[in-house]
Amino acid sequence: MRKIVLSLVATSALVCASAATAAVNVVAGGTYSDPGSTITVQSVDNSTNPNKVAFDTFTDTAGTYVSSFDFTEDMPFTAIFRLTSAEDGAAITLAQLIDGTMTPMTTVFQSTGSGPFLELDTGLLQANTTYRFSYRSTLPAGGGDISGNAAFYRAALPEPGTWALMLLGFGGMGIAMRRSRKRTLAQIA
């Protein structure tokens, strides 16, 4: 009995010690279709759920641009990408999420439009898989700026403390059932 209780306590301590942390890893700089434009990943915040990424495409000439950056996430997740432009005449026409591990690369989620705002919501995505977020925008004479942000929501998985309590609870139930069974057998004899 004592061995069972000690093993349950040890297991819960191990589970609590391995805290679940997730981080989005972005390939800074990204790519773009025209040398006159640049995409910049401005910030990556992995301190909360959701993890957040802010990015920006700026160019000083008119035209259509395709910008992208690659990223991975340590745990299963969903994401929301939001794009916006304050420039008169700017249009964001396409946002897509591409699975970078498949050959050829495959579009997993896509959103289309033609205006200064566009949003892309994803379903559940796999951990440790390289994805590419890509967007197409048309900017008016004089160029402009397309700014965006992404929120990466970890999938609902129990925290380590929850696992520890579940293990202790199941262990306690097992001990109670074992004791109850011994008493019942003694009464029958």
Give the pLDDT confidence of 164-188 residue by residue, as tens digits.
Answer: 778 788 888 888 777 776 666 556 6
Q: With bands split at pLDDT 50, 70 and 90, how would you rate the model's confidence at 15? A: very low
Other Cβ atoms less than 10 A from the Cβ of 112: the count is 12
- Pick the more confident residue, 19 or 47: 47
Contacts for 51 with CB less than 8 Å, ≥ 6 apart? 22, 23, 24, 44, 45, 73, 151, 152, 154
Fold for domain 24-154?
Jelly Rolls (2.60.120)
CA neighbours closer than 13 Å in the CB half-sphere of residue 181: 6
Tell which wins on pLDDT, 54 or 6. Answer: 54
pLDDT, position 16: 46
The pTM for the full model equals: 0.70
